[in-house]
Amino acid sequence: MANIQIRKYRDEDSEAVRDTFTMGMSEHVPSTFMHMLKQPPSQMVLMCIFCALITSSKSFLLPILAVTLVLAGARQLVVYVFNKYIDSSLSNDLKNISETYLKQKDSCFWVAEVDGVVVATVACLPAENAPACLELKRMSVRRTYRRMGIAKTLCRTVVEFTRERGFAAVLLFTSVVATDAQKLYEGHGLQEDTRVCYS
């Protein structure tokens, strides 16, 4: 069993934290793309393109090429959106973690170390739209260190921090494709309150 230590963020962790966040977010691109393809509007658009081109061109090659190009473009769009979000996060709260999370009241940022290497992160701060709650943010565990209980320990750390400060609940936002994260949060007693769909 690896030696896992949860501790508060230090400035020398900055690069490891940013790398962990970037890799964790980038891993969601394929599942987000597949989720998008499973939606009826996406399937309808692809079918319409295929049918329109097959009836007008009387060839299988043109519709197949067109649908392939649309799929490639859609995949690139998903990559672009994720990269914009990653860049935005790296230039906002993750640019100066100490200022954003450690010097603010009722906020904190933790890292998990395994044998002296930062392998996971989590943070919390007061929720903007729910003053009685703390918001869990930046939960990320490097792929090779998953299934070791690190995320559970980090989640427990945030829940304890929230209780110690007298907040009513932990609030968080996660993606519909992050099913492992959803199971983790539900396992800690967190319940889905609202589902928001962006189209």
Query: pLDDT (tens digit, 9 = 90+) per residue, 95-123?
Result: 999 999 999 899 999 999 998 899 999 99
**Residues linked to residue 126 through DSSP beta bridges, in sequence order:** 134
Q: For residues 19 and 27, is the Cβ–Cβ distance under 8 A?
A: no
Predicted pLDDT of residue 137:
92
pLDDT over 70, % of the chain: 86
Domain count, the chain: 1
Phi then psi dihedrals of residue 126, to 5 deg = -60, 135
Residues 25, 85: contact at Cβ < 8 Å?
A: yes
Domain-located, residue 198: no
Q: Evaluate whether residue 197 is within a structural domain.
A: no
Domain membership flag for residue 49: yes
Instruction: Please state the pTM of the whole predicted model.
Output: 0.81
In a domain, 2, yes or no: yes
Say what the pLDDT of residue 199 is.
39
Beta strands in 45-186 (DSSP E): 108-114, 117-126, 133-141, 169-171
Q: Is residue 196 part of a domain?
A: no
**Mean pLDDT across the stretch 158-176?**
83
> What rounded mean pLDDT belongs to the chain?
87
Amino acid identity at 137: K
Whether 123 is in a domain gets the answer yes
Note whether 76 and 66 are within 8 A (CB).
Answer: no
**pLDDT the model gives residue 125:** 92
pLDDT at 192 over 90: no
- Chain-centre distance for alpha carbon 85: 10
Asked, for residue 60, whether it belongs to a domain, the answer is yes
The tens digit of pLDDT for each residue in 71-97 reads 999 999 999 999 999 999 999 999 999
* pLDDT score for 73: 97
Whether residue 199 lies inside any domain: the answer is: no
Give the range among 49-53, 66-70, 146-150 with minimum mean pLDDT: 146-150
Quote the domain boundaries for residue 58: 1-191
Q: 61-91 vs 14-26: helix axis angle to the nearest 10?
A: 160
CATH of the domain at 89: 3.40.630.30
